[in-house]
Amino acid sequence: SKAAAIIVAAGSGSRTGGDVPKQFRTVRGKPMLRHSVEEFLQHPAFGPIIVVVAPAHAELTAQLLEGVEGITFVQGGAERKDSVNNAIQYLDNLSFNGMTFIHDAARPFLSSAVLDRLLDALASSDGAVPALPVVDSLSRANTNSILSEAVERAGLFRIQTPQAFHHQVISKAHATWNSEKVPTDDARMAMAAGYKVVFVEGDENLAKFTFADDFGREMGQAAKMHD
């Protein structure tokens, strides 16, 4: 069967600010959310595409994705994990049994190469995530931002999305997850439930838009390309 894509777009983008949450703003010529929706739609391995949005932005989302066929909308929840869980339950209700990819709308520049690496890795693992090695020096700081002990960088990775799983794996991981207060992602939930999640090579282009500056940087790059 074809793989499912869950694209979570129900956040409020509080760190970025602005009139509408970041995932609805335009980057590289189209609404941020539309970039990853189209990438999944173009890839032959993907079937159900589920976009998770807050009720308050349902109408705006429908407008921004006008003309895009083959997507299903699911209502978001209070936290990211709740938004993901609503989409997992939607797939559970369809008795979906394929692979499920979970992606942040806030990471618009998804490539088919990353999707292929994740699909390949799932042939021999419960889950797979794109990861990149940390390259900067790392340090703890005390409460006044004063440099304190160094943190060994070797063996540390930055984890991106999409995070890919066999559907039963992520469904079971979400159903059994109970330490509500610990911020976590889907891969960590799967790991905590006893599943094996592997790294594949990530992609710098998959960086998440988090702060207003991330939009400024993007505009700067676009300007450079036209020089």
Q: Which residues bind ligand CTP (CB under 6 A)?
A: 8-15, 21, 23, 52, 76-80, 83, 104-106, 208, 210
Q: How far is the CB of 104 from ligand CTP (least distance, A)?
A: 4
- 194-213 residues labelled b (16+ CB within 10 A) or e (exposed): ebebbbbebbeebbebeeee
Residue placing its CB nearer to ligand CTP in the complex, 19 or 227: 19
The count of other CB atoms within 10 Å of the CB of residue 96 is 20
Strands 26-27 and 46-53: unpaired
Q: How far is the CB of 179 from ligand CTP (least distance, A)?
A: 18
Q: Dihedral (C-alpha) 181, 182, 188, 194: value to the nearest 10 degrees?
A: -70
Q: How far is the CB of 208 from ligand CTP (least distance, A)?
A: 5
Residue placing its CB nearer to ligand CTP in the complex, 2 or 15: 15
Residue placing its CB nearer to ligand CTP in the complex, 52 or 99: 52
Beta strands (DSSP E) in 96-211 are: 99-104, 127-133, 138-141, 147-151, 157-159, 163-166, 197-201
Residue placing its CB nearer to ligand CTP in the complex, 79 or 120: 79
Number of residue whose CB is nearest ligand CTP = 11
Q: How far is the CB of 147 from ligand CTP (least distance, A)?
A: 27
